[in-house]
Structure 1
Amino acid sequence: MAYTKCITLSILLLFTLLGAANAEKLPATDVKRCAGNKPFPLEVRVAGCIKPPCIIYKGTVQVFEIDFVSHKFVTNVTALVKATTLGVITVPYELPDEVAAVCPNLMYGAYCPLYPTEDVTYYFEFPIGEYPEIGVKIEIYLVDQDHDIVTCFTCDIKVKKGVSGNKVAELN
């Protein structure tokens, strides 16, 4: 009888802890699909932003967490960004190599290679340069070693004047 009570208590404790962990998780940011039939992430969290346009400050680093699924065997993944302003001007947004390299920035002990149906989280520190204070649509896509798109999404941002000194906007 004591054994049954112990198991019941353990199960209740587990559900309580799981509920508390889920309560801590920030809600997903409302990002959009890329044009075409590109794979969409499971979830994207942008620090400090649930409903775009996300306010992003010049001279800071904006943190994204991107949950995605690998649909094939992947040995390498690279992050690429395009920025569109005024609805017509699209340019590549160069990322530092250490940021663009997805595999070393996977969270929760994940690492490459990735196997089909494996889901992982990429910790993406997006450096915000000294750009005009305008609205921008960013397209973030992750490509594998064969240049196939692993996942892709767009997010509207609004660049604003930052505070002095570099700051990292992080998720809790």
Structure 2
Amino acid sequence: MLRLVVLFAGLLAVQGQTTNVQRCTGRAAQNAPLPINAYVEGCINPPCQLPVGTFATVHLVFKAPRTMTRMTTRAQAFLIFAIDYPLGEFAETCNFLNNSFCPVMKDEVLEYTLQMKIEEAFPVGVSPHVEFRIEDDANEPITCIRVRIMVAPPLPQLTAA
């Protein structure tokens, strides 16, 4: 019963905020399930406009398929070929769980927030698919989403008068 309440609360927290994502196709996670919900802040229908110099914020709600002590988030961009994108401290999934902490129990519904810096080196106008996947200690995929982004120009700087 408690798990049902937690699941319901998690779904209410992101109700009305869902981004249309796809199942991953990259070799590392093509069989990984989609999460219960995925939301890229500010984006319902991709391509998601992500300005250079900002952080893309991705919220995922997913169910733990087994008890796990550690999880890692990985990102890959797909242009002509797959390019791994380092997430730095944000790769430590357990540090960014909103409603739990590691170890997580089998069937626990988890709310997770990822932030990814849109680096100044990203060429404006490119529109790759990006896959975000969460893996366990054995590098087995837990969940994965694929979403098209559009790298947008930097936001204008406000100047003091």
Q: Output the TM-score relative to the length of structure 2.
A: 0.82
Residue 107 of structure 1: CA displacement? Answer: 0.5
What's the TM-score, normalizing by structure 1? 0.77
Do 1:40 and 1:153's aligned partners in 2 also have CA atoms closer than 8 Å?
Answer: yes
Residues 69 and 117 in structure 1, CA contact (< 8 A), matched pair in contact too: yes
* Count of residue correspondences: 142
Secondary structure at 1:27 match in 2? coil
Query: Which residue of structure 1 lines up, in the alignment, with residue 3 of structure 2?
Result: none
Which blocks of at least 5 consecutive residues in structure 1 are unaligned? Answer: 1-17, 166-172
Identity score, percent: 28
List alignment gaps of at least 5 residues for structure 2. Answer: 1-7
User: Partner of 1:33 in structure 2?
Assistant: 23
Residue 162 of structure 1 and its aligned partner are, at CA, apart by 1.1
Larger radius of gyration: 1
Runs of 4+ in 1 over 6 A off after TM superposition: none
Q: State the 1:113 CA deviation.
A: 0.9
Partner of 1:111: 101
For 1:2-151, list aligned pairs within 5 A. 22=12, 25-35=15-25, 36-85=30-79, 88-96=80-88, 98-108=89-99, 110-130=100-120, 131-133=122-124, 134-151=126-143
1-structure distance, mates of 2:13, 2:62: 21
- The AA in structure 2 aligned to 1:105 is F
User: For the residues of structure 1 that align with 2:148 and 2:109, how far apart are their CA atoms?
Assistant: 25
Range that drifts further, 75-84 or 21-30 = 21-30
Query: Could you say what the CA RMSD is over the residues aligned between the two structures, in angstroms?
Result: 2.0
